Each structure stands twice: as structure tokens, then as C-alpha cells.
A and B are shown apart, each in its own frame.
Chain A
Amino acid sequence: MATAAVSCRELSVVEAGDLSHLLDALERRGYTVIGPQVRDGVVVLDVLHSAPDLPAGWSEVTGNGRYTLKRTGGSFFFRCTPSAQSWKAWLYPPKLRLWRASREGSGFRVVPEDGPIPRYALLGVHSCDLHAFLRLDAVLGQGKYRDPVYTARRQEAFIIAVTCSEPEANCFCASMGTGPRPTEGYDLCITEVQEGRRHYLLVEAGSERGSEVLSDVPRTQPDEKQASMPGVLANKAAARMGRTVDLHGIREALYTRLEDRYWQEIGKRCLTCGNCTMVCPTCFCTTVEDTTDLVGSQAERTRRWDSCFTGEFTYIVGGSLRYSPAARYRQWLVHKFAAWQDQFGTPGCVGCGRCITWCPVGIDITEEIRALRNGAQKSKEERNGDA
């Protein structure tokens, strides 16, 4: 049911009840829609069969190492910021077979994987997670060597972003320059509005593909006030961020403090469980496993997510280079905020705050950065004060 064509960047009003038309339009075009749902007491990201499965009326309450779901009573679909997991798993699978090999005479033959590329429509991507994909693009898709699976799935993926209006206690996308308003990298962007009893979505097409899909969805023109809502809501959200990070000179600040004693303090608390790396939307470390069947005639190479917090991550002959928890935590933090800049031109963190939520001992990366920077600041003041 095509209506008049939509041009890019043009805003449309879609009634909340008509969201299912969007899902249908996507499914008709061969997409599997992935979206947030409530399951087992958290909001997970999984295949979305219909609009009612969205976590309408739920919101998340987070803190240091704390997560609860709360009923808000409203009907917002995309209030939950962000979900327990990240969207990473859909384009960068936690477990992936790379190839198989079989013995042939005295040698072997390698059989590359050749399956179809899944086409996912990711519904409800907050700005932090949107930027996370841009980070992963730089790591996996722009170097001399690239990940063919990520790049293929990324090309196919249809992204429906969401403007954040209710940031959570652990959010700091504003400090990282990655939100709360999506500005690029999406096919469609939704801003949810509730006015009295009316619940509607302001939808903006961000690409030709997005325009094309949106043309199948019943919509109306926004008035001037409505057209300004995305900006207004985003600004309100930006002012209510739960946490902040001072990015000025952070690269030098971290590199000059590599041997600071404060890392030992963190090391006493960190369990090296790696939860932070598992929920982080930009962590990309993987490991490779080579296995064979019992007879030894078929071999397989699999890639799995890995974490720099594991004991064997830095194993070379004789032992692990990063043995102490302090060193492993330092690696993660310094990589995320300093080394990533040298490697890919931006920090690696997008301010989603999931690591703070899911750390069993409640380590807050923004607090640790502050403590590291202030530590040195304090000693400088002490020195000047006593002069």
C-alpha cells in the first residue's frame, strides 16, 4: 500500500497504533526485525514478531551494579535505555564458524562458509548504540584487513534509531558526543511523543532505503511544534545525564598515569569477570578455536567473543603478560579512552553505561577516570600549596 514518496530528512507523524505497518513493511522486504522485549526480568534484544511485544510501559532503573525493570504506566515503546545487551551480537556474532577443512591425501582442503547473509532490521537503536556501530565500522571494516561477515551484515542491516528522552542513571552519551539525538547512520529515526492520551511517533528518514520503507506506512505531516520535538526532547535528555566524563586531554592524562598507584586500588575490587566487555557495544576482541572431530578427518575453525580480562588473553611462552587484575583493568580503560584514539581517531566508549550496570562490584568507569585525573591534580596542588 504505497503512498506518496518520502524524501530524506523529512519528518512524518506516525500514530503509535500504526507501528505494526512499519514491521510489516520490513518483513515484506525480507528483513528479520530485531527489537527490545521483556524477558527474564530484563529487556533483551531478540527477533520481534509483532509490535505488542515491545516493552511498552516499562523502563529500566540502573545504578552501580544494579538493574531493575519498572512499570511506568505510560505506553512508550522505546523508553528502555539501553537494554541489558547491546546490538553487537546481531552483526558480530558471539560464535561464528569461519571455515571447515577436510583431509585430502597427505594434505587438506579448506571449505569457506558460504551461507546467505541475514538481513536484520534493528528497531530501537539509541544514539549511543548507533555510534557504537560507527566505532565497529572503523575497527572491522576500514583497515587493511576486514571482517567479511560484519561488513556484509552491516551493509544489509536496516537501522531504526530512537531519540532518547529519558536517559538512565548510568548514561553519559552527552559527554562522549554520541547522543542523545541520533544525527547520522540510520535508515529511520523515531522520536516518541506522548501528548495527553495521544501517543505518536515522529519518524525521519535518514536514507533512501528508509524513505522507501516509510512510504508504506500511514503518516501525516507534523506541525511546527511537532517538528521541533526531537530537538527539544533531546536537549532535555542531554541536561539530565546521570554521569559525565571530561574528555579534554584524556589521552595524555591516561598515558602519563600508566604507572599510577591508583590502578592497584581498582585491581583490588575488579574480579576480572569480563561482564563489562560482554555488554559493551564496542568491545571487539575475539579468539580463534581450531578443533577436529574424533577421527581427525574434519577440522573446523570457529571465532568466539573474547575478553581482555581473561587470564590467557595475553599468554605468550612462559606466562601471561597482563597477570594482575589492575593491569587488565588498566588495559581496558586506557584502550577505550586513549589507545582507541590513536588506533581509530575517536574514543572507543559511547557512554551507554552498561558496564556500570553489569559490574558485579559496581565499578563506575566515569568515577575511575575522575579519580585518576584528580589524584594527579591533587598532588600538583599539594606541591604548589606547600611551596
Chain B
Amino acid sequence: MAVSVEDPMLTRPCRVQRMRMETSDTFTIELENPCHNGAGPGFAPGQFNMLYLFGVGEVPISICGDPARPEVLVHTTREVGSVTRAMRRLRPGDVLGVRGPFGTGWPVDEAVGKDVVLIAGGIGLAPLRPALYALLERRDEFGKIVLLYGTRSPDDLLYQRELEKWRARFDLNVYVTVDRAAGRWRGNVGVVTTLIPGAPFDPLETVAFVCGPEVMMRFTVQELERRGVAKEAIYVSMERNMKCGVGLCGHCQFGPFFVCKDGPVFQYSKIEPFFGKREV
């Protein structure tokens, strides 16, 4: 008697509700989520979906919407290859295949009673945004909440309207910096790691969520440790080649970890022996 096993490779068609350009090469897709029946959280902040474009291919993209509104699946991505290039031409009403949500999320509960510092580099702000929403939803449970966001230039800033709204809040500290700017820019210029020494959080009572290019995360972790934040209190989001997204194809292995099922969010102390080692 065969016991049937659910097939994790079947994709569910979902309709595009909105498309928006965030910068010249980055865009946001909002999908209607027909599988969500309104009960319970649809995804954890930090998880990703495998998005399939009919006949073109499938790519892993972090979910960057509000976990409290799982009836809409929001994904921000950069145009970097054939699939994302084709996705850029999507219109409301078009259909994408969705598999997920997969992976581990930012441990928001670990931060209860502590300060939380979110450090985002470039498109790394997208996977962190749902964590920020989740923290703000339960604002009273946390100490200081600090967002440090660095990107290439003012033209590359994501979610500008939301950034302004966040900066206007009294219970949130937002610091933005760019690597280079024209003379008109009135904000910070410099790499995001330069924001860490002066940011208002207590290193001994802080949980840090870091997301961005691996090089940026490496130096960010160094700066956090220099300020006294323990390795166990730092979480990073890793990225690797993915084909199946469910731990069966082997592509996303990083040392002994499958980024698709043991990650993408990892506690830094756990992955430290492999992090930053060349070609691991």
C-alpha cells in the first residue's frame, strides 16, 4: 500500500495584482494569494517563494510584504537574469507560479525585551522589511528599534515613501546612507558600516538582523562585534543557487547547511566556521 507523498515541486498559479518600479532596475510584484484562507500567518518574515514564469523559469525571491496581510504576496527583485528580465514585463492580470513559503525566518521572538537593530545593504532591505512590520506590530514588546540602510546612491533607495514615514516615527530610529551622491544630497555618504558605532542601541541587550551582499554582511558583523554584540545575537540572511528550494537538489549547500531549509536566516554563531571562507 503506497503512502502518497505531497509533491513540493508543483507550482500554484497566482495572479499579479500590481507591478511597481522601485528604481531603474528593481521592481516589486504583488500577487494575490489564493491559498490563504485568513487563518494564521501566511509566511514568516525572512522566508522566500519560488516564483515561476510560464516556460521561462523559476527563481527564489524573498517575500517582502506585511506578514499580517498574507492574502497579498509581495516580492521585490532586481533584474539580473532571463527570468527576472521577463518578470519585469508583467502586467496586472498576468499569472506567476508560486511554490512556498520556504526557509527560516527572522527570529522576532528572540528579540522580545531587547533592542533590535536591522542593517540592510542594497536590496537586502526587502527581506528585512517584513521583520520591521512584525516588530512594529508588537512595538511595546521591544526596546529601541534601529534601521540602518545603505545603498549605492540616492537613486537606488528602495521604498522611499515608507522610509520617510518610518523616519517620522518617534519610536523608530532610521539612518540612511549612500556610497556616493551628487551635491544635492543632504543625507549621509559612506558605507553602512560607518553607521554602526554611533547607532543608539545597547550592544549587550540587542538582537541584530543583517541582510545584504555577503561582503557587506562580513564587515557589518565585524563592526557589530567590535561594538560588543555577541555572535549569538546576530542573524544574517544567506543566498545561494537554488533549484528546488526544498532541500532535495543539493545546489544551495553552504558547508553542511542547506540555505533553503536551514536558512536563509542563520544565527551567525552557528555558521561562523564557514562564513567568509573562500569558495565554501
Contact = CB atoms under 8 A, between A and B. Distances in A.
Given A292-B54, A313-B251, A110 B243 contact: no
Nearest to B95: A107
Is the interface on chain A under 10, 10 to 19, 20 to 34, or 35 or more residues?
35 or more
Nearest to B16: A106
B5 A148 contact: yes
Contact of B255 (A103, A291, A327, A339): A339
Interface centre among B11, B243, B247, B279 (most CB of A within 10 A): B279
Interface string A133-169: 0000001110111111001100110000000000000
A98 B274 CA distance: 34
A103 B2 contact: no
The B contact surface, by secondary structure, is: loop
A314 B8 contact: no
Interface in A279-335: 284-288, 290-292, 296, 299, 301, 303, 306, 308, 312-317, 321-324, 327, 330-331, 335
A290 B52 contact: yes
Interface stretch (B55-63, B170-178, B181-189, B228-236): B55-63
Interface of A: 98-99, 101, 103, 106-110, 112, 117, 139-141, 143-148, 151-152, 155-156, 255, 258-259, 284-288, 290-292, 296, 299, 301, 303, 306, 308, 312-317, 321-324, 327, 330-331, 335, 338-339, 341-343
A155 B56 CA distance: 34
B250 interface: yes
Given A101-B54, A152-B2, A285 B9 contact: no
Given A287-B243, A296-B55, A308 B250 contact: yes
Contacts of B93: 106
Interface of B: 2-13, 15, 52, 54-58, 80-81, 93-95, 97, 239-241, 243-244, 246-251, 253, 255-256, 258, 261, 273-274, 277-280
B248 A108 contact: no
A306 B249 contact: yes
A112 B5 contact: no
Given A112-B10, A143-B247, A290 B240 contact: no
